[in-house]
Amino acid sequence: MHSSYRAASSVLFAAVFLAGCSSASTSGSTASPAGTAATGPSATGARGGGPEQGIAVGAGPQSKYTVQKQPPAGSCHYRTEKGEPLEDLACTPGAVSPAVTQANLKSTMCRKGGYTSGIRPSTSVTGKENALNAASYGYKGPMGDAEFDHLISLQLGGDPNDARNLWVEPPDPGHKSGGGVNNKRDPVETKLHTAVCAGKVTLAAAQRAIVTDWATALSTLGLG
């Protein structure tokens, strides 16, 4: 009788313990943004500047790139901050390259002679992704006025071809249609790159600032 009671008690305790563990693990999990393509390793480990800052880690440079699935048409919506267009955080949360870390800056993004030109996907790949992503964001303007851009630029260690790091950036408000790309974001990326390579800010800090809001990234890091 006593042995049966102890056995039943043990089973009950195990069930309660496992239920508690399941609840705890579920409450701490983070779901992937809806509509985004899983195109690289999950944001775990300590590679690059991503995991520590909550930014996903992509597959990194590839010898041959393939067209990546983009979010469903019409599922992404531009935001506006101080008159500047910003990405949809659910569709374009950013992704970093595992090939670029704080420890190897001199041999990767900070090396002289250029780093980005050797890791860019071909236009045969990006051209198709561009059209798909324009549909994702519902962009209807002239494609020549927009820029298919990396949220975290290649010169800041962004992943070259992860769908989470790509978006069609529309021209600034007031831009004359047909006037070509008018992107105030590029100078910000260059200044951040210079600051990281000069040791003024960390790679992770620059990546987080550009993801949070490129328009305020410099002032946030005391570089404005």
Q: 116-169: per-residue pLDDT in tens?
A: 989 999 999 999 999 999 999 999 988 888 999 999 999 999 999 999 999 999
Q: Structure tokens of 99? A: 């090939």
CA-based torsion, 92, 94, 99, 100: positive or negative? positive
Mean pLDDT for 177-206 is 86
Token couple for 124:
């045969």
Residue 10, class by beta-carbon neighbours within 10 Å (0-12 exposed, 13-18 middle, 19+ buried)? Answer: exposed
Per-residue pLDDT at 176 = 57
Residue 11 has pLDDT above 80, yes or no: no
Check residue 27 and give its pLDDT: 33
Tens-place pLDDT, residues 40-73: 333 333 334 444 458 999 999 999 999 999 999 9
**Residues above pLDDT 90, as percent of the chain:** 58
DSSP letters, 21-41, are HHHHHHHT--PPPTT----S-
In the block, residue with structure tokens 């267009």: 85
Domain ranges of the chain: 1-30, 37-220
